[in-house]
């Protein structure tokens, strides 16, 4: 590819109670500051047809307040450094975010989708919405590397 430029056009924007990155709890919980919304732009609202039947959807976003990209980072659950590609850090070589949110209310006429459990700040541009499909997206046997080990350490020994 001779041109490194990739252009995305937002389909909507997040309206969130979280104004800065540090405001977002890790991990987000349904009760944290109430639901947030995605406002889909008028020219894309037709694409929301039949979304009411899904209780979870994936949101792909542009992380508009990203910082310079370290390739090794520490996380809230582990003090050791890890490669950025093994974390959910918002600081990435390409500032693209992914989150699966619980859809609690849909108004396809106004293009407003209300969610629980999203971890985006106010004004985040939404690039795409995709349905969560249990038969494709659920992998209970998946191994989660260092993250799974850190979670087990936090939970302590089981009897």
Q: How far apart are CA 34 and CA 17, in angstroms?
A: 8
Task: List pLDDT tens digits, range 145-159.
Answer: 777 777 777 777 765
Can you give the pTM of this predicted structure? 0.80
H-type helices in the chain, by residue range? Answer: 134-137, 145-155
Q: Kindly list the structural domains of the chain, giving each domain's residue range(s) and its CATH number in brackets, ordered by start.
A: 12-134+141-155 (2.40.30.70)
Give the pLDDT of residue 92: 82
pLDDT digits (tens, 9 = 90+) for 39-78: 999 999 999 999 999 999 999 999 887 777 789 988 877 8
pLDDT at position 88 is 76
Asked if omega into 27 is within 30° of 0 (cis), the reply is: yes
């Amino acid at each position: 590819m001779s041109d490194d430029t990739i252009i995305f056009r937002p389909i909507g924007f997040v309206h969130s109670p979280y104004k800065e990155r540090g405001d977002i709890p890790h991990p987000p919980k349904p009760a944290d500051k109430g639901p947030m919304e995605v406002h889909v732009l008028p020219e894309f609202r037709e694409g929301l047809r039949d979304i009411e039947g899904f209780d979870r959807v994936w949101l792909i976003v542009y992380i508009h307040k990203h910082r310079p990209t370290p390739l090794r980072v520490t996380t809230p659950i582990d003090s050791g450094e890890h490669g950025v590609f093994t974390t959910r850090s918002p600081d990435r070589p390409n500032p693209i975010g992914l989150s699966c949110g619980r859809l609690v209310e849909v108004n396809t006429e106004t293009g407003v989708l209300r969610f629980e459990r999203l971890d985006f700040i106010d004004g985040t541009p939404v690039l795409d919405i995709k349905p969560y499909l249990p038969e494709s997206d659920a992998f209970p046997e998946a191994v989660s590397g260092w993250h799974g080990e850190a979670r087990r350490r936090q939970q302590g020994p089981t009897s």
